[in-house]
Structure 1
């Protein structure tokens, strides 16, 4: 529970108040942004909060317990410090956001209402909405191994053991913000790169949802877009696609010995087969 400073509490209990909200955004790359819904610059912990940026916040809820508190902050790309390129490049992903209630006539009278992290960022034209999540979201992260039929490793990591590596490619032609023709890749079959992870030289990654051979090279369809500044000649690396099933690990990668799932674990389908009498329960393997 936040305890109001005495001066701020006295001010808020008066008949007329002069308070506003300020947001301090601290990105993972060390860049700090400050914004306020007041009409003048306010200094918060040495950060200049820009006025009239079009930034507004939804109602925020807080509750006892381990539930994840959430809110949203939205606005226009009107500030010179927030560019469309940075938003699309994911520069604000997982950035921390500090929300302050401030008496704008005396900025020292303020209180930190909440500290959140930016989750999903969506945009339409010059308008964006950023989802804010409390620190309780860390409690939802999976720790350790889970007993599932699918593999729990990432393709190519130490637990997976696949040594095929990523292939290097170059853009030949940009079809749209989610489709491009590339060269330099060798596909072993028609579905080789489906679900594969494509990583640009900037470090940003996306998933390939489809590919097909063309006269110019290989066409790749991307799950996420638009990709900022995607141009002919840009280089990238691409891992083959893996759906984490035992069949794919065995047939596509010949890596069944390193499979990190539990493919022989009976599921609900096995229980239903037992009920209707169509299943074969002779003690043999359920997955070959």
Structure 2
């Protein structure tokens, strides 16, 4: 239940027109931005809500599956507010959004009307629109672990628990040349065998893509230099001299976990689960049909 200040309630009942909407966006990297549909900037609790960004919102409706249908915000891209490159880089993916109804003549009179997260973002020229997904939307999402033969963890994460640094499987490199938008040649990784970083992760330290990560498609050695092919092109141009860190990859098979990383105790797959061939197999009159290793 919303707690509406008495003074604001009185203004709502009187039909005054000193009300506006404010949106507070908090990205996953903790960057906070404020926007308003008022004609002047507003400062609330130390956050400046910028006017002149063209921000508008639509009404939200809910469907029976608890997801949000038709709720969105729209606005303009600008150098001092929202950058197209930031949207393309995914910096606003799943950002939290607070929607406030505010009396611009006295910003202490305000009420929180909705909490949501940014969903799909569409861009067209210098304009954008973003889907808002309400809190109930998470209830309609699939969650939990999947029963698969391969491990569900990523090498070195909290579930895998393998120490990449102690294992000598993390390095730092510098770009020496760019072969394509998704292929680079780098120095600093000569001590690592070819293929160590295939399926691993590259994270940019500096340059236009600083802070962004991408999966490595292939790691090869050529003329004493590491050649890294990325699964996707970066949103900004890569330049010679850009530095990065790389972490080794894993094909998530049980045999790899045992032989290469000696980390079977933390394997999060189900290597004994029957495959598709077993599931669709039919009895064979010439076979023992005793269940084999699956007998119990």
For Structure 1 versus Structure 2, the TM-score category normalised by the shorter chain is: 0.7 to 0.9
CA RMSD of aligned residues (A): 4.2
TM-score (norm 2): 0.71
Match of 1:114 in 2: 114
Match of 1:40 in 2: 40
Whether the 8 Å CA contact 1:153–1:160 is kept in 2: the answer is no
Give the deviation of 1:207 after TM superposition: 0.8
SS at match of 1:284: helix
The 2-side partners of 1:76 and 1:35 are apart by 11
SS at match of 1:241: coil
Matched, 1:165 2:163: no
Q: Cα 1:260–1:49, aligned 2, differ >3 Å: closer, same or farther?
A: closer
Give the deviation of 1:247 after TM superposition: 4.7
The 2-side partners of 1:61 and 1:277 are apart by 59
Matched, 1:197 2:201: yes
The 1-side partners of 2:245 and 2:286 are apart by 47
Runs of 4+ with >6 A deviation:
13-16, 275-281
Match of 1:263 in 2: 271
Q: Cα 1:203–1:49, aligned 2, differ >3 Å: closer, same or farther?
A: closer
Residue 293 of structure 2: which of 267, 284, 288 is its match? 284
Whether the 8 Å CA contact 1:100–1:112 is kept in 2: the answer is yes
5 Å matches for 1:222-241? 222-228=230-236, 230-241=238-249
The 1-side partners of 2:76 and 2:284 are apart by 58
The 2-side partners of 1:220 and 1:142 are apart by 33
Residue 184 of structure 2: which of 180, 184, 193 is its match? 180
Q: Cα 1:122–1:64, aligned 2, differ >3 Å: closer, same or farther?
A: closer
The 1-side partners of 2:10 and 2:231 are apart by 53
Whether the 8 Å CA contact 1:35–1:51 is kept in 2: the answer is yes
The 2-side partners of 1:247 and 1:225 are apart by 32
5 Å matches for 1:1-288? 1-2=1-2, 17=17, 19-27=19-27, 31-62=31-62, 67-69=66-68, 71-78=71-78, 80-84=80-84, 86-87=86-87, 91-104=91-104, 107-118=107-118, 126-136=126-136, 147-157=147-157, 159=160, 161=162, 163-185=167-189, 188=193, 192-201=196-205, 202-212=210-220, 214=222, 217-228=225-236, 230-249=238-257, 253=260, 255=262, 257-258=264-265, 259-274=267-282, 282-284=291-293
User: How many residue pairs align between the two structures?
Assistant: 282
TM-score (norm 1): 0.72
| TM-superposition CA deviations, 1:50-98 (whole Å, max 9, x none) | 1120333344335799x45474434332251434565466554554321
Give the deviation of 1:240 after TM superposition: 2.8
Q: Cα 1:242–1:76, aligned 2, differ >3 Å: closer, same or farther?
A: farther
The 2-side partners of 1:276 and 1:98 are apart by 62
The 1-side partners of 2:142 and 2:230 are apart by 26
Q: Cα 1:244–1:124, aligned 2, differ >3 Å: closer, same or farther?
A: farther
Stretches of structure 1 lacking an aligned partner (at least 5 in a row): none
The 2-side partners of 1:170 and 1:243 are apart by 26
